[in-house]
């Protein structure tokens, strides 16, 4: 049977599978104390799973691209912190000047580098999500409050680790969401009532 003569149908409607997936994820954001998951990050990558095809094959794009994009954010923030150490005190507030002055290095660098490897090119969305989600985690302090938090370099690395972990959990949620529909392949010309009864 050729691919054109079959189609995939859901034995459990997607709306119910989404609800069940959210219910499964919520305890991870509520009952782990210091290590409560930042589910907003995971939900973004969950949506990304569907945008990129909603199959396990998305791992080939998401898994290498997310940490790479986030790592470019790490490089930017570390570079900004180093530069700020040489600036007058009045220019060190809110990390603005360090980020501003190093932007011409890191954003063009991200775009240039990501064009050097096929998974990063095809996973452009995941790469930029990794980059922006890392900045969101770092900028809002949305990471476990553990370790030497007065050390900016530790905070940057911790933010990267947490971003990648939450993004990977988001991929798992995307996979689980599709799995919970219990999809099956049927002949393309099979009637809808036959699909539901089978």
What are the sequence ranges of the domains in the chain? 3-197
* Token pair belonging to 32: 């782990």
**pLDDT value of position 88:** 83
Asked if the model's pLDDT at residue 66 lies above 80, the reply is: yes
Asked if the model's pLDDT at residue 50 lies above 70, the reply is: yes
Asked if the model's pLDDT at residue 93 lies above 90, the reply is: no
Asked if the model's pLDDT at residue 195 lies above 70, the reply is: no
- Give the chain as a DSSP string: --GGGEEEEESS-HHHHHHHHHHHHGGGGTSSGGG---HHHHHHHHHHHHHTTSSGGGHHHHHHHHHHHHHHHHHHHHHHHHHHTTS-GGG-GGGHHHHHHHHHHHHHHHHHHHTTSHHHHHTHHHHHHHHHHHHHHHHHT-S---S-TT-HHHHHHHHHHHHHHHHHHHHHHHHHHHHTT-EEEEETT--HHHHHH-
* Token pair belonging to 179: 């799995």
Q: Report the distance separating Cα 188 and Cα 6, nearest Å.
A: 4
Place 1 in a pLDDT band, splitting at 50, 70 and 90. Answer: very low
Pair 118, 40: CB distance under 8 Å: no
- Average pLDDT for residues 162-172, to the nearest whole number? 98
Asked if the model's pLDDT at residue 116 lies above 70, the reply is: yes
Asked if the model's pLDDT at residue 197 lies above 70, the reply is: no
Place 129 in a pLDDT band, splitting at 50, 70 and 90. Answer: very high
**pLDDT value of position 74:** 96
**pLDDT value of position 65:** 94
**pLDDT value of position 56:** 95
- For the four alpha carbons of 130, 132, 134 and 140, in that order, the dihedral sign comes to negative
- Average pLDDT for residues 141-153, to the nearest whole number? 95
- Average pLDDT for residues 163-180, to the nearest whole number? 97
Asked if the model's pLDDT at residue 95 lies above 80, the reply is: no
Place 98 in a pLDDT band, splitting at 50, 70 and 90. Answer: confident
Least reliable range by pLDDT among 57-71, 109-123, 134-148: 109-123
**pLDDT value of position 82:** 92
94: left (phi over 0), alpha (psi -120 to 50) or beta: left
């Amino acid at each position: 049977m050729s691919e054109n003569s079959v189609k995939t149908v859901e034995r459990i409607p997607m709306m119910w599978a989404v609800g069940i997936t959210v219910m499964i994820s919520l305890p991870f954001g509520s009952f782990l104390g210091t290590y409560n998951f930042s589910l907003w990050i995971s939900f973004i990558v969950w949506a990304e799973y569907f945008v990129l095809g909603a199959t396990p094959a998305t791992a080939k794009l998401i898994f290498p691209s997310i940490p790479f994009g986030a790592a470019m954010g790490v490089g930017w923030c570390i570079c900004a912190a180093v530069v700020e150490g040489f600036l007058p005190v009045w220019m060190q507030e809110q990390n603005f000047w360090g980020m501003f002055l190093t932007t011409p290095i890191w954003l063009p660098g991200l775009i240039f580098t990501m064009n050097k490897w096929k998974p990063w090119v095809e996973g452009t969305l995941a790469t930029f999500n990794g980059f922006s989600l890392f900045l969101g985690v770092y900028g809002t302090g949305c990471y476990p409050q553990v370790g030497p938090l007065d050390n900016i370099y530790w905070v940057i690395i911790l933010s990267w680790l947490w971003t990648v972990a939450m993004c990977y959990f988001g991929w798992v949620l995307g996979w689980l969401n599709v799995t919970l529909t219990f999809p099956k392949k049927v002949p393309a010309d099979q009637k809808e009532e036959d699909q539901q009864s089978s």
